[in-house]
Structure 1
Amino acid sequence: MPLVNFETLPNEARAWVFAAAAPVTGAAAVALLDMVDDHLRAWRAHGAPLVCAREWRDDRFLVVAVDEAATGASGCSIDALFHALRAIEGQVGSSLVASGQLYFRDASGVVQISDRPSFRALAAAGGVHGETHVFDTTITSVGTWRSGFEKPAHESWHARFLAVA
């Protein structure tokens, strides 16, 4: 039973967040989640199945988590996850493994993507501010995913981009 329901994972479970550069919806989202589930059902570390789960949110964010109290993920198993996701990217039309981008909700509630200089420029122009909701793709635990993945920028490391000289 390596693939479990995400809600059953403890807060201490290790998590990785993958953010789609473009929204993945409809048939592409179904295909993405089917391929991820196939990988997770077979995911192993040193031959032992990993107790793992995934969750999809806002047509952009995939979190994959492992209950390391049951079986710890190895470097090779983590590499295999990243490799599988890179292979899936071409089939769903959006990158998932790229890093360095910032994600936030615009005034109408739509998730937007920005590089750091553009986010700083948006802050300087008043397009984002301390109450703008941002997404912390650097989280590493299920508990943080549940309680602090999305929060106002002033409560996040994103706040450093709001200070404009």
Structure 2
Amino acid sequence: MIVDFNMLPEESKVWIYQCNRSFTDEEIREIESKLDVFLDNWTAHGSDLQAGYKIVYKRFIVIGLDQQVGAATGCSIDASVYFIQELEKEYQVDLLDKMNVSYKQGEFIAYKTLIDFKKMAKEKAVSKNTIVFNNLVVNIAEFKENWEVPASDSWHSRFLK
């Protein structure tokens, strides 16, 4: 069952899928429609899951799940990954590769491979103050507090000397 993302409890599980490019406004409308259908029908062992989503900066699909109502199981997680893979195919984008980094350059969102980000750190093209997106956050509370942070406060700090 789909619910408003902003109404999900702070401890709700989140999955963040970063895109290698910005979605167009038309693509966002289409993806939102597909997310509405998928989440409205998402179940675990036949029980409805209460989930919501938001698309942030035209690049990030964030799905939240109220695990107090029902936790995702292997099959339901597989279904969500399959859904994301279908979006990748349809829109010819990369959403599942965790070895890429998104960060802010002013108001622009940049997307680099981890290797390129490491090079940029070595060359001082990014710094400990560069705002990065920590897609390893696990719940809505962490998403709100620790998703968009200076690189010095994230796992990215290991590349900054």
Deviation at 1:136, TM superposition (A): 0.7
Equivalent in the alignment of 1:92: 91
**Structure 2 letter corresponding to 1:137:** N
Question: How far, CA to CA, are the matches of 2:101 and 2:94 in structure 1?
Answer: 14
| Aligned partners of 1:32 and 1:92 also within 8 Å | no
Unaligned runs of 5+ in 1: none
Equivalent in the alignment of 1:12: 11
CA deviations 1:8-38 (Å, max 9, x no partner) are 1111011111111111121111111111111
SS at match of 2:62: strand
State the percentage of identical aligned residues. Answer: 26
Deviation at 1:100, TM superposition (A): 1.0
Mapping of residues 4-153 of structure 1, within 5 Å: 4-106=3-105, 108-153=106-151
Equivalent in the alignment of 2:2: 3
Question: How far, CA to CA, are the matches of 1:97 and 1:120 in structure 2?
Answer: 20
| Aligned partners of 1:29 and 1:92 also within 8 Å | no
| Aligned partners of 2:122 and 2:159 also within 8 Å | no
**Structure 2 letter corresponding to 1:15:** V
**Structure 2 letter corresponding to 1:73:** A
Aligned length: 161
TM-score of the superposed pair, with normalisation by structure 2: 0.96
Which shows bigger deviation, 150-159 or 95-104? 95-104
Unaligned runs of 5+ in 2: none
Q: CA RMSD in A?
A: 1.1
Question: How far, CA to CA, are the matches of 1:123 and 1:98 in structure 2?
Answer: 20
